Amino acid sequence: MATEPAGCGPEHGDKTLVVGIINNMPDSALESTERQFRSVLSDAYSQLPIRLRLFSLPERERSENGRLYVERFYEDIGSLWRTSLDGLIVTGAEPRTEHLCDERYWSTLARVVDWAGESTTAAIWSCLAAHAAVHHLDGIERRPFATKLSGLFECAKVGEHAIMRGIPARWRMPHSRQYDLSEPELISRGYHILSASRAAGADIFVKHVKSLFVFVQGHPEYEPDTLMREYRRDIRRFIAGERNEYPEIPRGYFDEETEARFERYRDSIGMGSKDIAAASSVPSPEGSLTFAWREVALRLYSNWLSFLCAQKNSNRGADKASTLSAPPAA
């Protein structure tokens, strides 16, 4: 489904794109999130050379193993301010505070938003990063759901933009978040809603600053089993006493037989049970899990890479024209 990004043919010389990823996920999802974004970028157009540069916010709490992994494979965020990227992807994170500005990493993340607006061609803001960016840019406050939104939700294309080229009218997208953004408030502040879900709200929306900012509340990068792994993790957290409420089954994700197995498991441990020994017996799906959103994910990222390529070649042409038209040195 993905096609070669426009303007990235070999006749244009160096076609390597430099893309930064700021991975804000906790240690338990750090490597899997990195793998997911590597995969979707590679598969969106496998012949396009992409150089990935990985960054992590220094205020992010890490275990010793997590810290060592980041030190080995990630760059210090300080080097970001002195670099040049074609594109930037900023991942979500598990919210720890009611207000974003109370998160330990808030000041650094806000600086990333400002830097990306001036120093990238386009940036993708995923989940919590989308909430942080719109709050910093326009003061829009996220709103909590009564319970965590988790599952596959039908989305529909509601706006036209090059980033949506070739994407069908409807699809199902994974969502996994505790907060939402008001569509009317986004629209009133100049954001263009491109896709939306009746149950999950705004899915993809954009705003042009100096950079093209693409905001994604869903998770097109997810692998087929990501929602399942998150759900089983939340069950273990309940059993361990790390969360007060038993998690709801992801909506529209499991088949009926698998949902029944998870419901029987919930009933077997009792809604008030905190028996840590039960954690090892959390069931797993026996059948295959759907990957219904993959083609949409590949098209979205193919279009994004196409935009980066077109802008890079346009800038190269402008620089060449400027050089050719410049008066000779005295």
Q: Using alpha carbons, list the distances in angstroms from residue 108 to 59, 81, 115.
A: 8, 11, 10
Q: Which of 135, 219, 223, 309 is catalytic?
A: 219
Residue 85 contacts by C-beta under 8 Å, 6 or more apart in sequence? 18, 19, 20, 53, 119, 120
CA gyration radius, the chain: 21
Nearest in space to 115 (alpha carbons), one of 135, 92, 90, 138: 90
Q: Which of 8, 34, 103, 221 is catalytic?
A: 221
211-217-221 Cα angle (round to 5): 90
Q: Which of 127, 136, 161, 223 is catalytic?
A: 127
Q: Using alpha carbons, list the distances in angstroms from residue 31 to 16, 25, 28, 36.
A: 24, 9, 8, 9
Mark whether 127 is an active-site residue: yes
Mark whether 141 is an active-site residue: no
Residues annotated as catalytic are 127, 219, 221
